[in-house]
Amino acid sequence: MKTKPKPTTPFANVPISVWKVSGKPVTIDEFIEEGIGCVDATAFHYALRSLNGRLLEKLESINSDEYPGLREAVQVIIQVFESPEAWQAKDPLPRWLAEVAFGARYLLKRFDFIADHLPGIGLADDARLLERILERNQLELRRYLGKPSAVAATQNR
């Protein structure tokens, strides 16, 4: 019997406490702050190599009418993952990169606060989290991506 190899980065093994409220109400900003604690440069580079294809698949499944702005948010994340700044990142990882990586990982997690497969509401938590991450980091995203319209589009929805 083959055993499944363990992921080599802490980011791939985000503690369950990050994904569940555990009875303690937290703001979305507190949730993001807790989540980025698991993202360092090694984990970020692992995410760059492993998540981009999955993000493109997720992008295809998003109904723009149901979740306005979510497709654009995912496109911004993909642009970040493809940027030279992302590939050259070293510890300490800039906060904006850590937050974008955390948001990507959350989006790809099938069972989070609201299970993604639930019609009509499944991606609502993902959409709000990504929207907030882009809001928190809009200056850096505009500076490094050089495309203010892509980031601004997600802010105006």
Q: What's the whole-number mean pLDDT along residues 121-137? A: 94
Q: What's the whole-number mean pLDDT along residues 101-105? A: 94
Angle at 88 between CA 10 and CA 29, to 5 degrees: 50
Whether residue 150 is predicted with pLDDT greater than 70 in this model: the reply is no
d(CA 3, CA 9): 18
Q: Which amino acid is at 156?
A: N
**Sign of the alpha-carbon dihedral angle for 129, 41, 137, 26:** positive
Q: How far is CA 73 from the centre of its chain?
A: 9
So what's the pLDDT on residue 19?
45
Delimit the domains of the chain by residue range: 39-155
CA distances from 107 to 22, 69, 90, 100, 146 (A): 20, 14, 24, 11, 24
When pLDDT is cut at 50, 70 and 90, the band that residue 135 belongs to is: very high
Tokens of 64: 């723009």
More confident residue, 1 or 78: 78
d(CA 35, CA 25): 15
Pick from 4-13, 26-35, 143-152 the range whose average pLDDT is largest: 26-35
pTM: 0.78
pLDDT digits 0-9 by tens, 18-72: 445 566 788 899 899 988 988 999 988 988 888 888 998 988 888 888 888 999 9
The terminus-to-terminus CA distance of the chain in angstroms comes to 50
